[in-house]
Chain A
Amino acid sequence: MPRLAPTDAPALACRGIERSFGGLKALKGVDLEVRPGEIFGLVGPNGSGKTTMVNVITGFYPPNAGRVALFGDDITGLAPHAITRRGIARTFQNLALFKGMSVLDNILVGRHIHMHPSVLGTLFYWVAAVREETAHRTVVEEIIEFMQLQEIRHEPVEVVPLGLQKRVELARALAAEPRVLILDEPMAGMNQEEKEYIARFILDARDERGVSVLVIEHHMDVVMAICDRVLVLNYGETIAAGPPAEAMASPKVIEAYLGHSAARRQLRAVS
């Protein structure tokens, strides 16, 4: 269901984002702009501030300075649940699924903002809620099919293999029908085949559902393959931006990554 942007404003625009934790400056004035229908990569060495950036955008850590706008609307400082209603969905670097619930119920929670939960609706399930539940179940089944989760829909989510759990979380985010989808390392810990699956899903989500995607990813091959543009962070600062091939070839980026792995090699040598 492709959706046209109401204006030609960027899907997501962050200006001069700063955020510190105590004395640590995790973000030092970052600008980031995701265009409608774009797959945008946010990369950088460990601890460079990628997740913090996402937490700022989604309202978990309000920025110390800077503004965040979604399709031209200022959303800075809104609570996470309010930001979701404006049209942002995300996944977490470390899985955040609801244990004890089935895969299906987890994805159904993703429909929350489109439903009308109420005490009376629950009491009078047969007259009220059943119709709404069925309608949204139909939507969720489409997503289950899209993400190929049919086999496991009734399994408790915690018994599902890790790679599939990542997929369930992506399905849950898609169920919210966001305008902007933010994925924090959706392929962490996956083998090549699973990675390709996820890459395919991200491309399809953009092409078939018209979402704009902001993706944090360490696997450079994937970033090169699916991202239209990237932004590279290092110690909370932008060190490169643009088409992936150019950005990743910039000397600063090579230095940041090399310095990092060189430092790590040294660390490994001493420990």
Chain B
Amino acid sequence: MELGYGEEFELYREGVREFLSKNWPPPGKSGEGIDDQAIRAFRRNAVEAGYLYRAIPRRYGGAGREPDLLEAQIIREEFRRARAPMEIGGISTQMLVPTLLECGEEWQKERFVRRTIEGEIIWCQGYSEPGSGSDLASVRTRGELVDGEWIVNGQKIWTTQAAEADYMFALVRTEPDAPKREGISYLLLDMKQPGIEVRPLRQITGGTEFNEVFLDDARTPADWIVGQRGQGWQVSRTTLKHERNMVGNAESAEKLFRQLVRLARSVDLEEGPAIDHPEIRVELARLWNEVLIQRCSGYYQLSRSAKGKSAGNLTLMNKLAFSDFAQRVSDVALRIIRGDGLLEPGRRRGGNEKWLNQWMGSLGLSIAGGTSNIQRNIIAERGLGLPRDVVGDR
């Protein structure tokens, strides 16, 4: 066992640092002066230098490097230290792009990948329907191939950023006579068309990030399909895998923990700063242990996959571990903010009541991308090899 990265990698780190010292902040700019254009330009340079979108081939706008998880880790560490922009996050780049790279046609990759990673186009994920959430394979939105076009009818729900999105990747039933999981195709749809209507849904926080999407004779060309007809379920599994990696991430846990520590420093309980309070200190220590577990488990997963080996059940646990952690952090935050938690977080911006959004948001986290129960089923059945439930069509 060796925790250092080794001499070769430390040299690599120096290279990253040198790049950053020359490029971030952009020469001659600071604060307000760093506009979107400057950020874009920086990202392009970083891709050119091989630091961002490394796994994506050059012809699709990526850096086209051999996968090297340790290098990738060093880049993350150094970019974070310099507060430099990293890859654009979210479902477009972290779910759709890897899926296209893995299962898409050549023309699809050429057409969509570069524009997506450069932030030019935004995608939404059209999976869930009113009757199909945990039981995703029961989707009923229908697609029929008529004269070289898919005609799509049905409804999607809880679709995050559908209102802003240019395109949707959707699960659509195209083979009504096939068994449940074999009758679904993975279609790409242009959101800006008369057959698609987006209606915002109000979330528990009062915000409207997710939507209902009504598909009424929505159209998409016959070849806007990823994988073969009826293979959509398999294709979507690759996407979900990416979603779970995205959420179950030791770095997010650490970031959240640091925010909590900052809160505890800034708030006085009756006896002085919350950070000095023995009970709060114990709670923080408990959470810190969790951060450490997630970090070590992240190192291990990293090391295993660098060697092309499996990290076992750990990979099935990332999402649940993180959403539970986020919930515990927000519970402690609530104990620190106390009376401020009586206030509406939306309007009086800037006060500690904004932690209520984190508190409620952590609930969303335990539902989106597969509920915690479903995560536990996955751990039990796929991980521990237990028999499937005897009830239901699972």
Q: Do A and B bind each other?
A: no
Residues of B within 8 A of A (CB): none
